[in-house]
């Protein structure tokens, strides 16, 4: 299990397929800010709300020079259905082997109704154009989260 990258550290490089089967890596985003968020599963209530919230604010993030990428263990086909069903405007990466998720420390022991299991801990990383972690949100609560990320980005860009 990998530690969570800290503010100021270089962001772990990654490479994964998006919902269209295209390979996306951190180096592809080297000239822009990147909001990289990890979520457990497509089409579940919290994950749907988070994705729709990011979609709602996509234009604001783009105006500030930021792209948004969501990562989950779901397969590309699931991501396509998720995007179509909710008219999402964000890029989703498929990470069924948890390589990207683990490199950001988001694959951890979780507890639910007295049972322990390994899973994705909802978390978000703001990565600067020079590839460094600018901000980390761990164990994210969905309500109001996207607004917090946008506010932090506005501070950093201005």
47 is a catalytic site residue: yes
pTM: 0.93
Contacts 24+ apart (CB under 8 A), 146-154: 146/50, 146/53, 146/54, 146/56, 146/57, 147/57, 149/35, 149/124, 150/57, 150/60, 150/61, 150/64, 152/126, 153/33, 153/35, 153/61, 153/64, 153/66, 153/126, 154/64
What kind of fold does domain 15-153 have according to CATH? Glutaredoxin (3.40.30)
Confidence of residue 46 (pLDDT cuts 50, 70, 90): confident
Q: What count of Cα atoms within 13 Å lies in the side-chain half-sphere of residue 136?
A: 17
pLDDT digit string (tens) for 88-136? 999 999 999 999 999 999 999 888 788 888 899 999 999 999 999 999 9
Among the listed residues 11, 24, 26, 47, the single catalytic one is: 47
Where do the structural domains in the chain lie, given as residue ranges?
15-153
């Amino acid at each position: 299990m990998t530690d969570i990258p800290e503010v100021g550290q270089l962001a772990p490089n990654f490479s994964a397929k998006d919902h269209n089967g295209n390979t996306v890596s951190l180096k592809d985003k080297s000239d822009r800010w990147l909001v990289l968020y990890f979520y457990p599963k497509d089409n579940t209530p919290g994950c749907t709300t988070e994705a729709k919230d990011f979609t709602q604010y996509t234009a604001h993030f783009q105006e500030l020079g930021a792209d948004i990428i969501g990562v989950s263990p779901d397969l590309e086909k699931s991501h396509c259905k998720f995007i179509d069903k909710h008219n999402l405007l964000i890029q989703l990466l498929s990470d069924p082997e948890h390589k990207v998720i683990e490199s950001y420390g988001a694959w951890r022991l979780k507890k639910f109704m007295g049972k322990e299991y390994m899973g994705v801990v909802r978390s978000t990383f703001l990565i600067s154009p020079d590839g460094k972690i600018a901000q980390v949100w761990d164990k994210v609560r969905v309500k109001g989260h996207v607004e917090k990320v946008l506010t932090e980005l506005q501070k950093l860009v201005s």
